[in-house]
Amino acid sequence: MKKLVEQIKHIEKQYVAGTLSFEDIEHARQIAQDASNEVRQSLLYLHATSTNPYSSVVGISIYEDGVDSDGLDERGSFRYSSIKDALDDGWRIIKFPETSLAVYEQDNYGLGYEFVLERWR
Amino acid sequence: MTKPPYGSRMDCAPTMTDLEIINFCRTGYLMLPGVVPEVVNKQVIEYLEHVDSSHEPTPIVGESFFLDEVLMNQEAAGAVRSLLGRNFTLPLIISNHRGPLPYEKPQDWHRDGGTIYTSALEYLQVFYYPEECTEEMGPTVLLPGSHFMRNKAPMMAHLGSIKGTVSTAAPAGTIILTVYGIWHRRSRAPSGPQGKSLYRNLLKYNYWRTSPPQRDWLKDDDIDFNTINFNPPAGVFEQFQGAIAAARMFTWLCGIESQYKKRGGQNWPVAPSVRDGMNQEGLPKALANHKQQD
């Protein structure tokens, strides 16, 4: 993004000076293209004790480049202890718990209530 | 050479009490640290290294040291007898989960193939570490209570850290009895070999029931089944549902499941705060506190 902003500033100067070239614009387009190619979707699974999006977390896993998928910090604690913690850190919910799968209400299903979150890096 | 006693019916004295049986129902496992003598552990490792290093060294059942001191180990077989009743059968297959050391990634969480969710305990899945398994050697990790949490193994593969898990890191000679469907995985192993073997050897085998269930373990005549907490210590359950599942399994083991009427609400075992020797609503007659005044 920083490169792109710099290139746009350069284009503005060239335009004011009347020396803007097609190459200047093409360079900006290339920077934008490269930036979008670098962005990756990261996934965060949080298993909560209820469907409340602020509820506490009993399970965590992260699928993000360079991050341990077990979702623990240096002290061995969950990186996020609630879904709110994750939202505050820039994650957004892309899937809410699938409650319709609990067909028989007397039975126990899965690991609580699974929220799937994403962020792009 | 005589044929190894695969599937033979065996008996011995039960060793578990009512409370220990209930705890097994709640957690889905029982860990017996270091119960196999060191001399036998060494014989087992020798066998796994030099006689049969395959992933299924089943003929080890024919070795007297293994039969007498591992499969029929006094504490382990006593627990098996307590949970499966008289004339339980010896394993037909011995698997060896020879985990490489080190091993960077933890295994996916899973329940083993063939799991069914039921209050019946027809068989036990047993783990045995012939060498010490430290936290750095990738011990199996269990989720207590998960034998009541329905799921499919391929749908657990994305799970990571879970609250309340229990590591089975333990000294050599540790035997762990489990309900077959308990959720588990091998943890990551940052350490290289520390024992004689280049692997983390973990033997895994099943015993089966042949007798109808009955409360013929070490009975405690003074126990009050009204005031016991049946809740699993981990896992995720709607309020009371974990305790209800554990209590149902206990009544099945006692051979009185037909007396267990789940009427809903605060039916036994969900109201352990009853007072003055009163019986909870719905407590099976065979478990009732007969001191209660009519």
Answer whether B114's CB lies under 8 Å from B235's CB: no
How many A×B Cβ pairs under 8 Å? 64
Closest residue by Cα to residue A72 from A64, A62, A82: A62
Quick one: pLDDT at residue B206?
Answer: 98
Quick one: pLDDT at residue B292?
Answer: 55
Contact A109/B148, CB-based, under 8 Å? no
Q: Which residue of A has its CA nearest to B164?
A: A58
**Residue in the structure block whose two tokens are 């670098």:** A38
Chain B residues at the A interface, defined by Cβ less than 8 Å, are 106, 117, 148-151, 155-156, 158-164, 235-238, 241-242, 245, 262
Answer whether B23's CB lies under 8 Å from B55's CB: no
Answer whether B14's CB lies under 8 Å from B82's CB: yes
Q: Which residue of B has its CA nearest to A43?
A: B158
Contact A45/B160, CB-based, under 8 Å? yes
Number of CB atoms found within 10 A of residue B146's CB: 30
Contact A61/B159, CB-based, under 8 Å? yes
Both structure tokens of B40: 């036998």
Q: Rounded to a whole number, what is the distance in Å from the CA of A34 to chain B's nearest CA?
A: 30
Q: In chain A, which residues have their Cβ closer than 8 Å to the Cβ of B117?
A: 107
Quick one: pLDDT at residue A121?
Answer: 84
Asked if the model's pLDDT at residue B202 lies above 80, the reply is: yes
Q: What is the pLDDT of residues B54-94, one digit of tens each?
A: 999 999 999 999 999 999 999 999 999 999 999 999 999 99
**What percent of chain B is predicted at pLDDT more than 90?**
87
Q: Which residue of A has its CA nearest to B234?
A: A58
Calculate mean pLDDT across residues A59-79: 92
Q: Which residue of A has its CA nearest to B242?
A: A108
Q: In chain B, which residues have their Cβ closer than 8 Å to the Cβ of A107?
A: 117, 150
Instruction: Name the residue facing B161 among A63, A78, A107 (closest C-beta).
Output: A78
CATH superfamily, domain at B9-208: q2cbj1_9rhob like domain (2.60.120.620)
Closest residue by Cα to residue A49 from A97, A117, A119: A97
Quick one: pLDDT at residue B291?
Answer: 61
Contact A60/B236, CB-based, under 8 Å? no
ipTM of the complex: 0.90
Instruction: Name the residue facing B159 among A49, A57, A111 (closest C-beta).
Output: A111
Quick one: pLDDT at residue B192?
Answer: 77
pTM recorded for the entire structure: 0.89
Domain ranges of chain B: 9-208, 241-293
**Residue in the structure block whose two tokens are 């959720």:** B183
Q: In chain A, which residues have their Cβ closer than 8 Å to the Cβ of B158?
A: 45, 61, 63
* Numbers of helices and strands, H then E, in chain B: 5, 13
Q: Find the range with the poorest average confidence among A61-75, B81-95, B122-136, B154-168.
A: A61-75
Q: Calculate the average pLDDT of chain B.
A: 94
Contact B148/A108, CB-based, under 8 Å? yes
Q: What is the pLDDT of residues B9-35, one digit of tens each?
A: 999 999 999 999 999 999 999 999 999
Q: Find the range with the poorest average confidence among A41-45, A61-65, B189-193.
A: B189-193
Q: What is the pLDDT of residues B220-263, one digit of tens each?
A: 999 999 999 999 999 889 899 999 999 999 999 999 999 998 88
